[in-house]
Homo-oligomer: A and B are copies of this chain.
C-alpha cells in the first residue's frame, strides 16, 4: 500500500491535483518509488472512496480543468497509523528482487567475456545514476521552499539522498571486485 501512503504523505504538505502529485513523485520520490500517471489517478479514486481524500473540481479557462485533492481527518489518521507500524516494510527491505542478479547467477551458461561485459555495463550505469543523484540535494532545497516546516522535513529527505550515495558506491565496488575475479582468476586456482 506504499503508493497510497506516499500520496497521503505528499497531500499532508498541502492540497494538490493528480498532475501535481505525479510531478512531485517524479521530482522527489522517484529515486525509490515511481508510479505511472494512470496508476496515480486510479489510486486517488480508490482513496477518495475510502474517505481518505476529498476532491474539488476547479474550472479554468486558460488551461484544462483540474481536480484538487485534499487529505481528510480519516486520511491523516491512516497516514499516522502507517507511520507507526513500519515492521512489515523493514522486513520487506530485507528481501531484494533483482533480475540482474538472476543473470549473474546464470552467467555460467554463457562465456566469461559476456559476464564481464555485463558487469562493466552495470558498473557504468551505476556511476551514471549516482552522478544524476547528486542533483537531488539541490532539488530538495528548491522543493523545500514551497512546503511548510521544511527545515525539519528536509533533514529526512536528505537521508534518503544519502542512502543513494552509499548504495551506488557499494554496487560499483562489488562490480569491480567481481570483474577483477573473472579477469584475474581465469586460469588460476585457489590453494587451501
Contact = CB atoms under 8 A, between A and B. Distances in A.
A97 to B, nearest CB: 6
Contact of A86 (B98, B118, B178, B185): B118
A107 interface: yes
Interface in A83-134: 83-84, 86-87, 89-110, 114-115, 118, 121-122, 125-126, 129
Interface residues of A, number: 69
B174 A166 contact: yes
A106 B126 CA distance: 26
A99 B2 contact: yes
Contact of A5 (B87, B102, B118, B185): B102
Interface of A: 2, 5-6, 9, 12, 28-29, 31-34, 79-80, 83-84, 86-87, 89-110, 114-115, 118, 121-122, 125-126, 129, 149, 152-153, 155-157, 159-160, 162-163, 166-167, 169-171, 173-174, 177-178, 181-182, 185
